[in-house]
Chain A
């Protein structure tokens, strides 16, 4: 019997990547008109499964049925024809194109000579139907993240998507934007469309889903109806054990001010003001956590402090010395460490060896007699750090690019901590890492604090911020909405500030 009420039926899906089984014999079903969440930790295989459904990956084994019919999805094109749309975590938009151009790009029904007016009309109709606000003539590069996401959804609807996959759609949104998104999704489900919602956030999953499938390590743990489960149960299924994350925070005497930022303004890559009139300071032995949804100016703030981005206005003092717009090679000698959020792109030089990466901040001190590098010293130094920081690498001569994500982050950490920084700017230090590496890195940060380093910790992970920081500052649209001691902070207030709905008086 063909069951046409099943929009998606995936049977026995298996997908291997070199070294891992990302999906192991997964069975997954989505009904017509339901919002079905795929829940799981990073690396549980959620995105892989959906990339298979969308034709981006070829599965090694398994069968897929769409509305009861067996299908062979070899490319996104096939998926689109079957009425499947996918909104990726990283948007796949063309920034200099208008909203309309982005939506009609690659659409099968286009004439050779484009009829943009007609397309615009259809887009406006769709937007109205589902409650979007969008200007079809605006260039995407000038849209906010939330607006860009709406363009992505419209793109799928324009192609007649009946099954919509959203990969961690709320990770870039503020709470009000999330609420709007959920309204749109609910309306779509009411229209009979099926929504697959990939997330690792329990609250949201409980709020939006009809049913929930939990994945762990590439396998399905269970599929449950929302009404028959609880957050606690889901969390247990997700992690496989009861987890309570507690770090013993060392008591450290907080010293004098190390970093002092006064009235800072910074532009982002698009030339828009990303950091607006920011005042903050960090003291010796203190961790100041910056909370906020990614893309609210945290990256630009960090980059301005470490000298890789120009400050437009305002001043930055480190240990009382004005270092505004000084290049990194001057700041380095002052003992400023920087863990960038883009460790592969901007932090490490992955084409070089582990050793060459480890010495990259100290090699000039290893230079003797004119300009010859002391190779013995470099060797011993890197061996010591590999051991000290528990980096899994066969030898110092191993190319860095062969290391895993966690080990790359340890490599970066080792390089920055070995210089015993007075100020450490750590941006998303545990993003994308497994539990073990995350815990290790957090412990190392606390150890630095004990040593007396002033640490500016930027993280999207609120738990991390609250677990490590002494004080919390919340950033929203480039502004600091408030700074408060962590013991006075409650999650609701911080959530409101992250959404721009609350501001503390300075």
Chain B
């Protein structure tokens, strides 16, 4: 038997259309693979997915809930995208989210008498700074000592998680219930609810503004150009006169800060106190979102919304059909894996060699 010989042929650089097709195709493929798992749970995948999408988009309440998830996901997505743009592999949005949450909570529970117009900006800024600080450390280690940022940001996620644990079981522990959660922030510190009767809070709008800011940086500024150049070829960028290290640290700080905002808004927009499961892996989902969105601001926003649907919808699917909710993470991971396949197919054409 003669096996067909396959050959790879490089295609011309992929167009925007092909990139979008790859992203959408990979999501579809991920859902297809996941349906095997839904069958395993004894549920018709079509029924399962119906409940998933209905539960995320079906009515006003579920739609606003999806937006509530969109807030941290858009922020971590943008955070990862900015860092990835200059090839600073910040895998630490999860940890930076916690750092931001801790910093914001500190002010939120310390100045109980402060009025909204003071305490909300204060929490926002401190959330930003907390996350920025947590990203600054690996950035400094990378530029100063060439320590790989992938490992340090990953380890950083766990370090801040353990610190959070130590604080929540220590000084902030609820003295009555002994729950590992901080005291509640004041009423004044809570973000205003924009749609009465739902949890649609101001943070969602602020997250959209952050996406817009990223759009401006990406599209119109010299700094965005510098980041792209550094990401594409740091050595050439340096010899052309771009301040590679400084820009990388700045991008890391901005990236961490934005992830920190996600933490702050989760505290004062949604939970009103700091808790151990403040993030449901949003920092990692941010990586998937950034990649699915092709690091492009519009792409990131759309990918974040899609992931928000998945996160919200799997909960609904779980409630209605009993398909376990960890399916959400499976879909996220599969989307990323399938995207790699999709990107490959936009770059190469697989041909049978005719002998």
Residues of A participating in the B interface, judged by any CB pair closer than 8 Å: 18, 58, 306-308, 327-329, 331-333, 338, 340, 345-352, 356, 359-361, 363-364, 366-367, 371-373, 375, 399, 401-402
A338 and B235 form a contact (CB under 8 A): no
A-B interface, 3 closest residue pairs, ranked by CB to CB distance from nearest: A332-B241, A351-B232, A329-B241
Complex Cα spacing A364 to B233, Å = 18
B222 and A363 form a contact (CB under 8 A): yes
Q: Known: A328-B240, A328-B241, A401-B13. Is A367-B222 also a contact (CB below 8 A)?
A: yes
Partner-binding segment picked from B24-32, B40-48, B223-231, B331-339: B223-231
Q: Known: A351-B232, A371-B221, A371-B223. Is A338-B239 also a contact (CB below 8 A)?
A: yes
Complex Cα spacing A356 to B227, Å = 12
Closest A residue to B220 by CB, please name it.
A372
Asked if B208 CB lies within 8 Å of chain A CBs, one says no
Asked if B238 CB lies within 8 Å of chain A CBs, one says yes
A360 and B229 form a contact (CB under 8 A): yes
B229 and A328 form a contact (CB under 8 A): no
A373 and B229 form a contact (CB under 8 A): no
Enumerate B233-275 residues with CB–CB distance to A below 8 Å. Answer: 233, 235-243
Complex Cα spacing A198 to B232, Å = 36
Complex Cα spacing A493 to B178, Å = 89
Asked if B197 CB lies within 8 Å of chain A CBs, one says no
B239 and A349 form a contact (CB under 8 A): no
Asked if B12 CB lies within 8 Å of chain A CBs, one says yes
Contacts of A350 in B (CB 8 A): 232-233
B239 and A306 form a contact (CB under 8 A): yes
Contacts of A373 in B (CB 8 A): 220-222, 225
| Other-chain contact of A360, B240, B243, B353 (Cβ < 8 Å) | B240
15 contacts between A and B (CB under 8 A): A58-B353, A308-B235, A308-B238, A327-B243, A328-B240, A332-B241, A347-B236, A349-B233, A352-B229, A356-B228, A363-B222, A363-B225, A371-B223, A401-B13, A402-B13
B236 and A349 form a contact (CB under 8 A): yes
Q: Known: A351-B233, A399-B13. Is A371-B239 also a contact (CB below 8 A)?
A: no
Complex Cα spacing A347 to B229, Å = 12
Contacts of A18 in B (CB 8 A): 9
| Other-chain contact of B232, A306, A332, A352, A367 (Cβ < 8 Å) | A352
| Other-chain contact of B242, A306, A329, A375, A399 (Cβ < 8 Å) | A329
Q: Output the residue of B222, B238, B243 with the most chain A CB within 10 A.
A: B222
A349 and B237 form a contact (CB under 8 A): yes
Shortest Cβ distance from B215 into chain A, in angstroms?
13
B228 and A352 form a contact (CB under 8 A): yes
A361 and B241 form a contact (CB under 8 A): yes
A356 and B225 form a contact (CB under 8 A): yes
Complex Cα spacing A359 to B240, Å = 10
Closest B residue to A401 by CB, please name it.
B13
Q: Known: A329-B242, A373-B222. Is A348-B13 also a contact (CB below 8 A)?
A: no
Complex Cα spacing A338 to B241, Å = 11
Contacts of A328 in B (CB 8 A): 238-241
Complex Cα spacing A363 to B241, Å = 11
Complex Cα spacing A371 to B220, Å = 8
Please report the total number of B residues contacting A with Cβ < 8 Å.
22
Contact with A along B148-164 (1 / 0, CB 8 A): 00000000000000000
Closest B residue to A332 by CB, please name it.
B241
Closest A residue to B242 by CB, please name it.
A329
Shortest Cβ distance from A399 into chain B, in angstroms?
5
Shortest Cβ distance from A13 into chain B, in angstroms?
16
Complex Cα spacing A421 to B232, Å = 25
Q: Output the residue of B220, B223, B239 with the most chain A CB within 10 A.
A: B239
Shortest Cβ distance from B226 into chain A, in angstroms?
8
| Other-chain contact of A329, B13, B222, B228, B243 (Cβ < 8 Å) | B243
Closest A residue to B14 by CB, please name it.
A399
B241 and A345 form a contact (CB under 8 A): no
Closest A residue to B353 by CB, please name it.
A58
Complex Cα spacing A415 to B53, Å = 52
Contacts of A338 in B (CB 8 A): 239
A356 and B242 form a contact (CB under 8 A): no
Closest A residue to B10 by CB, please name it.
A18
Complex Cα spacing A399 to B19, Å = 15
Complex Cα spacing A429 to B13, Å = 27
Contacts of B221 in A (CB 8 A): 367, 371-373
A349 and B232 form a contact (CB under 8 A): yes
Contacts of B12 in A (CB 8 A): 402
Complex Cα spacing A485 to B234, Å = 39
Complex Cα spacing A306 to B238, Å = 11
Q: Known: A329-B241, A361-B241. Is A371-B222 also a contact (CB below 8 A)?
A: yes
Closest A residue to B233 by CB, please name it.
A349
Contacts of B13 in A (CB 8 A): 399, 401-402
Enumerate B43-69 residues with CB–CB distance to A below 8 Å. Answer: none
Contacts of B353 in A (CB 8 A): 58
Contacts of A307 in B (CB 8 A): 239
Known: A307-B239, A340-B239, A360-B242. 6 other contacts (CB 8 A): A328-B241, A332-B240, A346-B239, A356-B225, A367-B222, A402-B13
Contact with A along B1-14 (1 / 0, CB 8 A): 00000000100110
Shortest Cβ distance from B335 into chain A, in angstroms?
24
Q: Known: A356-B228, A399-B13. Is A346-B220 also a contact (CB below 8 A)?
A: no
Contacts of A340 in B (CB 8 A): 239
Shortest Cβ distance from A187 into chain B, in angstroms?
41
Closest A residue to B222 by CB, please name it.
A367
Complex Cα spacing A338 to B237, Å = 13
Enumerate B260-311 residues with CB–CB distance to A below 8 Å. Answer: none
Contacts of B228 in A (CB 8 A): 352, 356
Complex Cα spacing A215 to B223, Å = 50
A361 and B240 form a contact (CB under 8 A): yes
Contacts of A356 in B (CB 8 A): 225, 228-229
Complex Cα spacing A346 to B9, Å = 26
Shortest Cβ distance from A335 into chain B, in angstroms?
11
Closest A residue to B241 by CB, please name it.
A332
Shortest Cβ distance from B177 into chain A, in angstroms?
50
Shortest Cβ distance from A94 into chain B, in angstroms?
23
Q: Output the residue of A306, A361, A363, A402 with the most chain B CB within 10 A.
A: A363
B239 and A308 form a contact (CB under 8 A): yes
Closest B residue to A330 by CB, please name it.
B241
Shortest Cβ distance from A150 into chain B, in angstroms?
32
B222 and A349 form a contact (CB under 8 A): no
A346 and B236 form a contact (CB under 8 A): yes
Complex Cα spacing A346 to B353, Å = 35
Complex Cα spacing A307 to B238, Å = 9
Shortest Cβ distance from A294 into chain B, in angstroms?
19
Complex Cα spacing A191 to B221, Å = 68
Complex Cα spacing A166 to B13, Å = 35
Shortest Cβ distance from B89 into chain A, in angstroms?
17
Q: Output the residue of A18, A349, A351, A360 with the most chain B CB within 10 A.
A: A349
Q: Output the residue of B222, B233, B240 with the most chain A CB within 10 A.
A: B240
Complex Cα spacing A327 to B244, Å = 11
Complex Cα spacing A332 to B238, Å = 11
Q: Output the residue of B221, B225, B243 with the most chain A CB within 10 A.
A: B225
Q: Known: A363-B222, A371-B222, A402-B13. Is A348-B239 also a contact (CB below 8 A)?
A: no
Contacts of B233 in A (CB 8 A): 345-346, 348-351
| Other-chain contact of B235, A329, A346, A351, A402 (Cβ < 8 Å) | A346
Contacts of B239 in A (CB 8 A): 306-308, 328, 338, 340, 346-347
